[in-house]
Amino acid sequence: MSSNVNPYNINPYNEKLLNGGLVQSSQNPDDNIVFNDFGLQNAQYCTRYIRHESAPDRNFIVSDVPRNHGKNLQDAFFKKKIITLVGTLVAGSNSELLAQMDLCKKFLGANNSELKIIEGTTTRVYTASCTSLGRIFADRDHYMRDWINYEIQFTCWLPFGRDYTRTKRDDFGKTSATIDIELTNSGTTQNRLIAYISFDTADTVSKINWKNNTNSEEIEIEQAFSASDILLIDGENTKITANGANVDFSGFPPSLNIGANSLTLTITSTSHTVSISNKFYNYFL
């Protein structure tokens, strides 16, 4: 290199980050980040990075080993996920910056809202709350008249990301006493299933059993059903209704293991014709 060439006057040393200017987004231009319908990656909100790839925090349930070393691990549960977003808010004037800061705090103040992160063709959606609202603009210096750095922390008490849309399967016009259905959970953790069971015809229907043979979880509803009745088995909200009214049940709505699941719907009746609609989200650690 020639002695009269300053090695620090070339990339990356002469970039804005090290030259006193604004931090530009390092995300792919096709990416998108939205919380509570408020965009956090655009011409004004230049997000430098968002950390959401690590698995959620996990709590371990342990007990002491009597008169010996160590502990017994009894179970473990994922409890929360922390997502951190860092970037720069750019405005055309000081008044616009102040207005944008107020607007940002307004939208980030919503609890348990949808945080959507798009990366290429993959979308992850989290149910999140901003748990750093009191310090997202804490590093503002006096000379920052039309720009300011931000750091936002989201906490997800439901600690999994999910697909943007549900996976669905419909089975129409079934008349047998036992109906076998195969469903595949393409996520990386168990998920909950929502099933609609609609009776087109029903002759002395008295009992319904809905079981996942893969993990032996099942629910049973013992009551009469007539033509046009609709039974909802909502595993996401543990809500079991017939035509909108709560019904008694035993067991628990079945979840889906990771991968292939074999389920069986058993109907006790003289005869019947039913249609079954299943839908679920794939969840990811």
Q: Model's pTM, two decimal places?
A: 0.81
Please give the distance of CA 243 from its chain centroid, rounded to a whole number: 28
> Residue type for 74, please?
Q
State the distance between the two ends of the chain, measured CA to CA, in whole angstroms.
49
pLDDT in tens, 171-230: 999 999 999 999 999 999 999 999 999 999 999 999 999 999 999 999 999 999 999 999
**What is the sign of the dihedral through the CA atoms of 97, 98, 102 and 105?**
positive
- The domain tally of the chain equals 2
Is residue 280 a part of any domain in this protein?
A: yes
Say yes or no: 175 and 62 in one domain: no
Q: Is position 253 within any domain?
A: yes
Using an 8 Å Cβ cutoff, are 72 and 63 in contact? yes
Query: Do residues 193 and 255 lie in contact, with contact meaning Cβ atoms separated by under 8 Å?
Result: yes
Residues near 151 by beta carbon (within 8 Å), at least 6 away in sequence: 84, 85, 86, 132, 135, 136, 138, 139
pLDDT tens-place string over residues 87-96:
999 999 999 9
For residue 220, the enclosing domain spans 167-284
127 and 251 both lie in a single domain: no
Do 203 and 158 fall into the same domain? no
Q: Are residues 118 and 175 in the same domain?
A: no
127 has which bridge partners? 114
The single-letter DSSP state of residue 175 is -
As a whole number of angstroms, the distance between CA 246 and CA 230 comes to 12
For residues 38 and 128, membership in a common domain is answered with yes
- State whether 22 and 125 are in the same domain: yes
Tens of pLDDT along the chain (285 residues)? 444 444 434 443 344 333 444 443 334 444 589 999 999 998 899 999 999 999 999 999 999 999 999 999 999 999 999 999 999 999 999 999 999 999 999 999 999 999 999 988 899 999 999 999 999 999 888 888 999 999 999 999 999 999 999 999 999 999 999 999 999 999 999 999 999 999 999 999 999 999 999 999 999 999 999 999 999 999 999 999 999 999 999 999 999 999 999 999 999 999 999 999 999 999 999
Q: Which of 146, 162, 178 is the last residue of a domain?
A: 162
